[in-house]
Every structure is written in C-alpha cells, then in structure tokens.
Amino acid sequence: MKRLKSRAERTKEEAVSVKDSLEANEALLSRALGENEVLFLTLYKCFSNVLLERLPEASKDGKLRGIQSVQTDAMAVDREDSAAMDVDNEIDPRKGMANNGYENVEKVQWCLSTLGYLKAITRQYASAIWPHVENLDSEILTENVHPLFRKAVYSGLRRPYNVLQSSLIMLAQQYFHF
C-alpha cells in the first residue's frame, strides 16, 4: 500500500512538472511568435522606407514612369559615329558621377535587385509571414506604399496582386451592407 501511495505521489508530481513545462513552453512559443511578428513588420517597414525614397513615382494607373526608358537606354548600342570619347560621357571627378545617365541606370538596377531580394525573402519565409499578413496589410502595405513594393511582397507570398481591391470591396460590403 505504501508503494502504491508513493507511486501515486510521484505520478502526481510528474504530472505537475509536465504541466508546468507545457505552460512554460507555451509562453516561450507565444513570445517567439510575437518577436517574429515584430521582426517581419520591422523588416518590411525598413524595406519600404528605403525603396520609397529611391523608386520612381508611379502614375495613378499603377504604371511606372522612367523605369522602362532607363532600362532601354542602358541596353542601347553605341552609335558608330561615337567612336571617339566624348567629354560629356566621361565621369566628372569633381561630381563623382557620370554625366550621361548611368547613375540613373545604377539606381534603377539597385531598386530592381532590392525588390528581387524582398520577393525572395518573402517567398522563403512565407509560412512564417502568413500568420501576420493582416498586420502587414494594415501597417505596411497601406495605400501610400509603392506599387512595385506591394507587387514584390504579394508575389513572394504567392498572393494575387488584386487582393487589395477584393479586400476593399469586401470591407465596403460589410460596412454598407450591399
């Protein structure tokens, strides 16, 4: 009988220990999820701030001005009559930049490669980002975010780009009951 009582007490102690361990693990998991959310929101906010300063302005229809023409100019072949070096096309050491628009090409290439990194990071961590997508939408992917930034994030999440329009329609239906 003593053995059964001692065995029952050990089992109760083990149960309490397991319960305490489970509660501690749940608290750690909850904390880690909260830290992940803050990490992803901070990451996207930083990407947004950096790219917003450097991306060309988008028109009202969402198309970009200047990016296509800069890409085309960068790939243009030199004319035959420009075999001699032009002073205007050289790098001006006083200004530290090219006079012929190559700094614009570099800026566009930097923006496009950064957007590519954003898309790749989003795709790699999509399963960890999806639980926080509502906060990402409400805090980062607001109406003033650049269309290319939104497109890169949506593409990385494999989310349709027109989801914003459909979510706005759903919100309007909820509030206006139509």
Asked if the structure places residue 118 within a domain, the reply is yes
pLDDT band at 156 (very low <50, low <70, confident <90, very high): very high
Asked if the structure places residue 27 within a domain, the reply is no
For residue 60, what pLDDT is reported? 46
- Decide which of 80 and 22 is more confident: 22
pLDDT band at 91 (very low <50, low <70, confident <90, very high): very low
Asked if the structure places residue 66 within a domain, the reply is yes
**25-29, 32-36, 72-76, 125-129: least confidently modelled range:** 72-76
Asked if the structure places residue 23 within a domain, the reply is no
- Indicate yes or no: pTM above 0.85: no
Contact 67, 160 (CB under 8 A): no
Q: What percent of the chain has pLDDT over 70?
A: 66
Instruction: Look up tokens 């906060």; give the residue.
Output: 135
For residue 73, what pLDDT is reported? 44
Asked if the structure places residue 6 within a domain, the reply is no
For residue 105, what pLDDT is reported? 81
Average pLDDT over residues 77-81: 41
143 vs 158: CA distance, rounded Å: 20
Q: What is the mean pLDDT of the chain?
A: 75
Asked if the structure places residue 139 within a domain, the reply is yes
Residue 84's domain spans which residues? 38-176
pLDDT band at 67 (very low <50, low <70, confident <90, very high): low
Plot region of 57 (φ>0 → left; ψ -120 to 50 → alpha; else → beta) = beta
- Decide which of 148 and 57 is more confident: 148
For residue 22, what pLDDT is reported? 95
Q: What share of the chain is helix, strand, coil (3-state, %, to 5)?
A: 70, 5, 25
Average pLDDT over residues 5-13: 90
Asked if the structure places residue 91 within a domain, the reply is yes
What are the residues whose beta carbons fall under 8 Å from the beta carbon of 76, sequence distance 6 or more?
A: none
**69-73, 130-134, 136-140: least confidently modelled range:** 69-73
For residue 42, what pLDDT is reported? 94
For residue 74, what pLDDT is reported? 41
Asked if the structure places residue 5 within a domain, the reply is no
Write out the chain in H/E/C secondary structure.
Answer: CHHHHHHHHHHHHHHHHHHHHHHHHHHHHHHHHHHHHHHHHHHHHHHHHHHHHHCCCECCCCCECCHHHHHHHHHCCCCHHHCCCCHHHCEECCCCEECCCHHHHHHHHHHHHHHHHHHHHHHHCHHHHHHHHHHHHHHCCCCCCCHHHHHHHHHHCCCCCCHHHHHHHHHHHHHHCC
Q: How many domains does the chain have?
A: 1
- Please give the structure tokens belonging to residue 86: 């032009």
69 vs 50: CA distance, rounded Å: 22
- State the sign of the Cα–Cα–Cα–Cα dihedral 90, 93, 98, 99: negative
Contact 52, 115 (CB under 8 A): no
